[in-house]
Amino acid sequence: MDRDSQWMTAPADAYRLWQETDAVGADRRPFSARSRIQHAAMFERFLRHLTTKSVTLATFGAAHVESFFADVETRCAPGTTTRLRYGKMLDRLCRHLVEEGIRTENPVTAMAAFERWPEDEPVPLFLDVDSDARLQEWVEPAAGDDARALRNRAIVALFLATGISATELRQAQCDHLSVDGIRPHLEVPKRGPRESRRIPLPPFAIDSLSRWRQTREPDAGDALLFPAPGRGGMVNDVLLGAVVREALEAIGFRAPDMSPRVLRNTFARRQLLDGRSNFDVSRLLGLTSQRTVVRLRATIEQRESILQSVELT
């Protein structure tokens, strides 16, 4: 069962898996084991509320959140931070569901009670220009690469070259990737509210993706581009995270978050530096909101402001 389906059919399991493999706090660090247990219990309480309202994670709105908060507050002592803790948990969840294409909007941050929450959002992590260049060099096939090394370079190359999400990479099929002809590209099918899109492949990714595509030739067509080793089926997020972390460590990059999200942010920021608009970059990412791209553009504007200040002094 893929992660998208699990959010609808077994949401509690999907939430626990997300907490274990991908979710981070405002400091970009994974949550402690104790926090994960607490968050899972809070999430399951929210799920029970949604069930009573006959809505799902994909369809609940601000009114359902407000009614949930009203119920929570009747069971809590005055002056506690329970509402805020639940609100932050739900905001993180909804941002993730929007990012994954399961929802089209985040009803929590639109609520007046949480207008200041963007201040608590983690600063997006990305590779600086020099680190980006080093990783582009790293994905080039090397003499003596075995099948595992070829696969890992191709995985990192595809993340860095296209900005697709981990879910989209897991679902990518051989015939979605075109490395021949004058316009190499990746086709990303429509999924939920995300429209289908075609992402051009930059030159740095072609060699590693071509080599990997050749190893998949007997199983081409609608076979998975990156099947799970040994057992087949979709590769899991734990393996993808390990592959990306290993590549980042190889180029000397260290950060609280070493997940595929960093490469997605790097791709988007590279497009902004190349002059693309917020709308165009959001479309390349498959996002219906420009919020992520606006936050990434802010990092460019902040850097330019600092450089100008240095020049003036």
CATH number at residue 175: 1.10.443.10
For residue 52, tell me if it sits in a domain. Answer: yes
Task: Give me the pLDDT at residue 121, please.
Answer: 56
Residue 116: band (very low, low, confident or very high) from pLDDT cuts 50, 70, 90: very low
Q: Model confidence over 127-166: pLDDT tens digits? A: 999 999 999 999 999 998 999 999 999 999 999 999 999 8
Comparing CA positions, the residue from 201, 203, 205, 208 lying closest to residue 147 is: 208
For residue 255, tell me if it sits in a domain. Answer: yes
Q: Do residue 216 and residue 245 come from a single domain?
A: yes
Average of per-residue pLDDT across 210-234: 85
For residue 312, tell me if it sits in a domain. Answer: no
Instruction: Give dist(CA 262, CA 127) in Å, integer.
Output: 7
Q: Model confidence over 10-63: pLDDT tens digits? A: 899 988 888 887 766 666 667 778 888 888 888 999 999 999 999 999 999 888
The 3-state secondary structure of 241-301, one letter per residue: HHHHHHHHHHCCCCCCCCCHHHHHHHHHHHHHHCCCCHHHHHHHHCCCCCHHHHHHHHHHH
Q: Do residue 88 and residue 185 come from a single domain?
A: no
- % of residues, the chain, pLDDT over 70: 85
Torsion-angle region of 157 (φ positive above 0: left; ψ -120 to 50: alpha; else: beta): alpha
Among 2-6, 121-125, 294-298, 300-304, top mean pLDDT goes to 294-298
Task: With a cut of 90, say whether residue 202 has pLDDT above it.
Answer: yes
Rg of the chain (C-alpha set): 21
For residue 78, tell me if it sits in a domain. Answer: yes
**pTM exceeds 0.75 for this model:** no
Comparing CA positions, the residue from 26, 154, 24 lying closest to residue 96 is: 24
Instruction: Give dist(CA 154, CA 7) in Å, integer.
Output: 28
Task: With a cut of 90, say whether residue 267 has pLDDT above it.
Answer: yes
Last residue of a domain, one of 88, 103, 120: 120
Q: Do residue 246 and residue 139 come from a single domain?
A: yes
- Structural domain that includes position 135: 129-306
Average of per-residue pLDDT across 170-190: 92
- Which range among 24-38, 185-199, 264-278 shows the weakest confidence by mean pLDDT? 24-38
Task: Give me the pLDDT at residue 35, please.
Answer: 82
For residue 311, tell me if it sits in a domain. Answer: no
